[in-house]
Amino acid sequence: MSDDTPIPWFTGRMGGDHPCTLYCFPHSGSSAGEYIRLFHPLRSRFAVRVLQLPGRGVRLEEPELLDMKTLAAAVADAHDFAAPYVFLGHSLGALTAHEVTGLLLDRGAPAPLHLIASGSPAPHLPPLKEPARHLPDRELAALLGRQHSPLPAEILADPEVLRLSLRAFRADLTVLETREPSPVPDTPWPVPVTTLRGRDDYVPEEHARQWAAHTARFAHRRVPGGHFPFRDDAEAYRAAVDALVTEAVHDYQEERNR
DSSP secondary structure of 52-105: --TTSGGGTTSPPP--HHHHHHHHHHH----SSEEEEEETHHHHHHHHHHHHHH
Instruction: Count other C-beta atoms under 10 Å from residue 46's C-beta.
Output: 23
DSSP state of 210: G
Instruction: Count other C-beta atoms under 10 Å from residue 157's C-beta.
Output: 9
d(CA 52, CA 48) in angstroms, rounded, equals: 13
CB 210, CB 124: distance < 8 Å: yes
What pLDDT does residue 131 have?
Answer: 85
Domain extents for the chain? 10-127+183-257
Q: Give the architecture-level CATH label for domain 10-127+183-257.
A: 3-Layer(aba) Sandwich (3.40)
d(CA 89, CA 175) in angstroms, rounded, equals: 15
Cβ-Cβ contacts under 8 Å for 146 (sequence gap 6 or more): none
Which of 190, 245, 242 lies closest to 40 in space, CA to CA?
242
CA distance to 68, 176, 201, 250, per residue, from 71 (Å):
5, 11, 26, 31
User: In the chain, which residues have pLDDT < 50?
Assistant: 1-2
What pLDDT does residue 14 have?
Answer: 54
d(CA 69, CA 13) in angstroms, rounded, equals: 26
